[in-house]
Structure 1
Amino acid sequence: MSAKDIYHEHVKHALIKDGWTITHDPFKIEYGPKVLYADLGAEQVFAAEKHERKIVVEVKSFIGASVVTDLEQALGQYILYVDVLSDIEPERIVYLAIREEIFATLFTEPLGQILLRKHRVNLLVFDPEEKEIRQWIP
């Protein structure tokens, strides 16, 4: 199991503040003989509709020497979780949690825009100081 991202607790608190119940910390994914660990699993129950929404969140800080290398690593992990969960827990939606600052820079540039335009990644954009979710981008 890898170390928690430096913004792990920030995202956890932001989800709770947004009405989510943290069900897994970390979220263990067993597939064949391999075990993977996403950062968080959460659920939100809609009482009026009598159904629940389940998500898995992978938190990424993007503080490495290269934002492109960080993006490549984050996308690889994200795609792996999406593909495995589509087989074993298809009701769960996977989100990549990133800071507002990263969204405002990387995802407004052509490299990030193509990912959004082609719906390659679901983003949870958060404010680390306020510990709040700013955007959900499916």
Structure 2
Amino acid sequence: MAKDRFHQVVKTALIKDGWNVTHDPLRIKVGGVEMEIDLGAEILLAAERGDEKIAVEVKSFLASASAISEFHTALGQFINYRAALRREEADRILYLAVPDLTYNSFFQLDFPVSMLQENAVKIMVYNIEVEEILQWQN
């Protein structure tokens, strides 16, 4: 249930930020593989603002899960989705959506910071309570 709620939180935050949500979810077929993140876990959410196109992989980083385990999954998915987008929708930029509480704690530790930099991960930080985007990090 919490992940569905976070999906809607991010969708609402994008709309508040002026984005038009165009795909929910965004399905990609590349190299014989179909990619889609299902609602129960996380969603690949696409939005457009002007001629900017983005795809957003929503992660909840629930307290009950291991942060490093969720980070491994998020980073692997991000790398795969970015590669697929480069082949199929090269004009769409991928962001990893992360709750502010996780961003301000786990994502400030040395190892996650270095891995995000090494893999050029773009991050969208969102607040669950106010359903707003707090920061875009390129």
Please give the TM-score of this superposition, normalised by the length of structure 2: 0.87
- Which 5+ residue runs of structure 2 have no aligned equivalent? 38-43
Alpha-carbon distance between aligned partners in 2 of 1:10 and 1:22, rounded to the nearest angstrom: 13
CA RMSD of aligned residues (A): 1.4
Alpha-carbon distance between aligned partners in 2 of 1:115 and 1:35, rounded to the nearest angstrom: 26
Alpha-carbon distance between aligned partners in 1 of 2:104 and 2:47, rounded to the nearest angstrom: 26
**Is the counterpart of residue 25 in structure 1 residue 30 in structure 2?**
no
- Following TM superposition, where does structure 1 have runs of at least 4 consecutive aligned residues deviating by more than 6 angstroms? none
Distance change >3 Å, CA 71–CA 136, structure 1 → 2: same
String of CA shifts for 1:74-102, please: whole Å, max 9, x gaps: 11111000011111111110000000001
Alpha-carbon distance between aligned partners in 2 of 1:70 and 1:119, rounded to the nearest angstrom: 16
Higher strand share: 1
**Contact 2:30–2:87 (8 Å) recurs in 1:** no
Name the counterpart of 1:97.
Answer: 97
**Contact 1:44–1:54 (8 Å) recurs in 2:** yes
- Which 5+ residue runs of structure 1 have no aligned equivalent? 46-51
Identity of paired residues, percent?
41
1:24-103 map, 5 Å: 24-38=23-37, 39-45=44-50, 52-63=51-62, 64-103=64-103
Question: Which entry has the higher C-alpha Rg, 1 or 2?
Answer: 1
**Contact 2:6–2:128 (8 Å) recurs in 1:** yes
Aligned to 1:61, the other structure's residue is in SS state: coil
Q: Number of aligned pairs?
A: 129
Aligned to 1:124, the other structure's residue is in SS state: strand
Name the counterpart of 2:9.
Answer: 10
Distance change >3 Å, CA 71–CA 5, structure 1 → 2: farther
The one-letter amino acid of 2:81's match is: Y
Alpha-carbon distance between aligned partners in 2 of 1:19 and 1:119, rounded to the nearest angstrom: 28
Distance change >3 Å, CA 120–CA 5, structure 1 → 2: farther
Higher helix share: 2
Alpha-carbon distance between aligned partners in 1 of 2:70 and 2:35, rounded to the nearest angstrom: 19
Please give the TM-score of this superposition, normalised by the length of structure 1: 0.87
The one-letter amino acid of 2:125's match is: V
Alpha-carbon distance between aligned partners in 2 of 1:11 and 1:80, rounded to the nearest angstrom: 21
